[in-house]
Structure 1
Amino acid sequence: MKAMLGTTVLAEADRDELISIEGNWYFPPERVRSEHLVHSPTPYACPWKGACQYLAVQTGDAVLADRAWRYPDPYPAAIQRVGRDFSNYVAFWKEVRVVD
């Protein structure tokens, strides 16, 4: 599967490497092209997953704020609920499409 912004591939992995949480596909950190991600100061904490780190997505001159996120240290109960450790896995939204 691929996370795409226009024709740019932001992440790519086999489906069995991804984790689906609440309708979002989370890509393993080693499958994400980090050169397209920029740290965002936007704060957020999910009540059941823990502190979230937002990322801006950058392609060329375009920077789209908060279009990706990850949980660096999810709660142990969240890992248990999901069934796999999803620490630092990256999910995308809005203009970023996840396709087979």
Structure 2
Amino acid sequence: MPKAVWNDLVIAESNDTVLVEGNHYFPRSTLRDDLIRGSNTQSVCPWKGTASYYTLEHDGQISPDAVWYYPEPGPKAGMVRDRIAFSGDVQVID
């Protein structure tokens, strides 16, 4: 079962991931809410749309913008709706 690990903590785990451009997109509901805080960062993908981010924070450790998602994915990117993906020091293990 794919899982996302950050600082030895499993922050998301699911058999229902979608692989897009080499990134596992986990259902948003699998992300531990106690570890995230909002971010004002946004980026744009030509076909997926505008991405928003979360920052991870736990026990004094911070990983800015390590989680991203598409609140309103583009018409060809419906597969990432209500899903999150990871970057930075988050390791996704298949």
TM-score, normalised by the number of residues in structure 1: 0.85
| Conserved 8 A contact 1:70-1:90 | yes
List alignment gaps of at least 5 residues for structure 1. Answer: none
Question: In 2, distance between residues paired with 1:66 and 1:22?
Answer: 19
| 1:5 paired residue number | 6
| 2:91 paired residue number | 97
TM-score, normalised by the number of residues in structure 2: 0.90
List alignment gaps of at least 5 residues for structure 2. Answer: none
Percent identity for Structure 1 against Structure 2: 34
Question: In 2, distance between residues paired with 1:51 and 1:94?
Answer: 19
Partner of 2:72, secondary structure, is coil
**Which structure's residues are more often helix, by fraction?**
1
| 1:26 paired residue number | 25
The CA RMSD over aligned residues, in Å, is 1.2
1:45 to partner: Cα distance: 1.5
1:39-84 deviation digits (Å, cap 9, x = unpaired): 11012111110111011111221111111100011012222xxxx3
| 1:74 paired residue number | 73
Which aligned pairs between 1:13-92 and structure 2 lie closer than 5 A? 13-14=14-15, 17-79=16-78, 84=79, 86-92=80-86
